[in-house]
Chains A and B, each alone.
Chain A
Amino acid sequence: SSFTLALHGGAGTILRATMTEAREAEYRAGLARALHAGYAVLAAGGLALDAVTASVCVLEDEPLFNAGRGAVFNTAGTQEMEASLMDGRDWRAGAVTMLFGPKNPILVARAVMERTEHVCLSGDAAARLAEEAGLPFGDTDYFFTQARWDALAETLRLNAEGVDDGDESRKHG
């Protein structure tokens, strides 16, 4: 009857050469906050689905991680977020893509699962569902992080020069 939770948090440069102790501590603290959010649900006898939702919301709210508030930028200088979740009990699932506006895309994916007959919604349809569900929205300032904007400029420069520096983490945020 024991429970367990694991998570990952794509956060940006991970190359040892550029990692600092301060940054590493920030990342680890963000991961730990997300772990404890899920733990609180499971320790109270809650559902795995609620635990993973709680953990991912914490990571989406932390601009260090490439999701929600810390989302990377595309070639057009805009942000398109994606999310999905799945319940192992009955294979129910929800997913969103091409989304901008709701602070927690994972909650929109959950709304797709719980409020529609569909599995995946994209773009404006997903944003409208989020409004109907009363989910909080952020504006472009809320989602802007200088580090992600700089990573976009760097990547576009390298692409223009046909250079691949192999820094997968900059690409993945």
Chain B
Amino acid sequence: TVGAVARDAAGNLAAATSTGGRTAKLAGRIGDTPILGAGTFADNASCAVSCTGHGESFMRRVTAHELSARMRHRGEDLRTAADQVVMGDLAEIGGAGGLVAVGADGSFALPFNCEGMYRGHIGPDGMAWTGIYR
């Protein structure tokens, strides 16, 4: 699964996710990627989110929307909310994976609860940062 989140200069947010699914999934199985609020979500008032990992877990915990809801209703900042949904909610049901998220304030979070996650970030300086492990 691949995905991107962005905040543009006008402050608008967007998220996009695309996947081939899981190796040896049952034909006909639908994962979290096309399920808005599970694998993908964007709302200018809070954040944009794109998820990757064990899709069934992201669907059951409605991870992308939950992150936004924690920010809007509990006033949590992006990183606090992102860590909770990945290291708490997902891990609680054995869901492996992670997400990338950007906040309305331009902050970003790249949490994951497995061995590694291919991830990257770029800002106005144009310096492309990439990471794999912790």
Contact = CB atoms under 8 A, between A and B. Distances in A.
A87 B42 contact: yes
A3 B123 CA distance: 6
A24 B19 CA distance: 21
B106 A4 contact: yes
Given A5-B122, A42-B9, A67-B20, A31 B130 contact: yes
B34 A83 contact: yes
B73 interface: no
Contacts of A49: 6, 12, 14, 16
Interface string A117-138: 0011000000000000000000
Contacts of A15: 115
Nearest to A46: B8
A39 B16 CA distance: 15
Interface residues of A, number: 86
A38 B116 CA distance: 23
A84 B36 contact: yes
A68 interface: yes
Interface in B8-27: 8-27
Contacts of B5: 5-7, 52
Nearest to B49: A86
Contacts of B7: 3-5, 48
Contact of A168 (B4, B14, B114, B120): B114
Contacts of A55: 4, 6, 16
B40 A86 contact: yes
Interface string B98-109: 111110001010
Interface of A: 1-11, 14-16, 19, 24, 27-28, 31-32, 34-36, 38-39, 42-43, 45-49, 51-53, 55-56, 59-60, 65-68, 70-76, 78-89, 91, 93, 95-98, 104-106, 109, 119-120, 148, 151-152, 155-156, 159, 168-173
Given A5-B121, A56-B3, A86-B48, 12 more contacts: A3-B9, A6-B6, A48-B6, A59-B18, A68-B18, A74-B27, A82-B34, A83-B17, A83-B34, A95-B33, A98-B28, A170-B23
18 contacts: A5-B121, A6-B120, A9-B2, A47-B10, A51-B6, A53-B16, A59-B18, A67-B19, A68-B18, A72-B21, A72-B22, A75-B26, A80-B28, A86-B48, A95-B33, A95-B40, A109-B16, A171-B24
Interface of B: 1-31, 33-36, 39-44, 48, 50, 52-54, 96-102, 106, 108, 110, 114-124, 126, 128, 130, 132-133
Q: Sort A-B residue pairs by CB-CB distance and give the 5 closest, nearest first.
A: A71-B20, A88-B13, A88-B42, A59-B2, A48-B14
